[in-house]
Structure 1
């Protein structure tokens, strides 16, 4: 549940989970603007391996442990000056952001990644905040865009590029560092809003797609499955948050982009990826997304407080 500031804490009795550390930055191979490397989360180290003892028998030698860390998948930036804190209250915006129910079990429609990508891509945007770059997606008919806080952190105005090649200025409406969610408002007309699903009905093994601009490569789509639905992680020392874990490829620049089901409904906001300690940031099949139900609750509070 959110506290009075809109920050979401961990569940009582749960382990705190891995923690994000400072984001890394490196230039993508194809673009001059550096893509934000996902924030790193330190995960418990893998079980230590043991060497086979030679003759004569001696105590087994414990192999050195490799720390597994998680990196957030977005373009770097600093938090918006347009109100980072959240407060309950304000105008009633419950109907501004609309969610769709999951497809019925008996539906005759066959889920298809290609169709899901075609439906979602027009609503996904490329975000530039100073020298940082990330992703986002349109969430309502007022031209508001959801992304990660770390993509726009430190900026009150950014620029967005649409899939059709158009570009627009955008104002940072507000952000919540605790959940790493931010809301932008674009100037002029924006594409249609993405279909927003629900994360409450997710199942382990369910196919999903991740859409965004990894390493500055706009409108990229990768596919995978839901690996876990309630993986607790901490964002920059904040209380632990349940995250959706996926093996869909997520890389620097994907931060703030949508994770969607095969009906094209957004079910999470891509935020972090795991890397083996000491290695350069890159996808190893462990990515994390903020559940869309939680992200929408935070976005509504941000909009109400604007």
Structure 2
């Protein structure tokens, strides 16, 4: 019986492949240099800190070091479900995220739909520039503006007193106003910037569809409902999936700046809780476990939402 011998690739082919790779890298060296800062950012600030997750499984002792501390396994993760304070903070975080998804998430879509109906291009660009500007302000500046307007002697209380004779309203200290003000700040700061993605999606809608709808007697609202919204539905779904991944991330800097001794006990969220536990109380291991728990929950939510979107016929994130 005649056997066929499999020819091995010549040694020179590997050498030529490396030469082609080096030639390609040298040809695109400037593009690679442009991408290097972004790559370095993720390596240094996203991937390298992941080695610190080891703290979640040990009882960290600064005198013994990270790897010399006692191994406790999942003990700190069990504390997450046994600690009543963590439960309260988790409920606050979920409630605040739900409010942001319910009220802040639709606002960029609404702004994009309204801007898409503007026919005067100069006016449209001016409005876009104005609503984009708050995004470039830091949360320190935004919260500072809010304090100036809503503190006891602020502009809002002065107006209420002079116009209606009302006593000063404790906007900044009453816990009842905390979550509405946080959501309002997010809308004011980020809604305009979020319109960029949806305006880009609207630019790809075929104008012939609107002409056909006009021929059938459809008004502006029917055109928006039957043409515009279905055209950007996949974009809305993808953005919602990505937003669900940060459902336990309520924005540390914003919430931290809004907290004060009068509302801190009832309005703490996971991000600020981790800060107080890890930095102020030096409970590094437990704070690391809470942060890791938050990341795992976000990953599970993204994967679940992505699969659900695919079942309803959308593309999803991956």
TM-score (norm 2): 0.23
Looking at secondary structure, tell me which structure has more helix per residue: 2
Looking at secondary structure, tell me which structure has more strand per residue: 1
TM-score (norm 1): 0.24
Indicate the structure (1 or 2) with the bigger Cα radius of gyration: 2
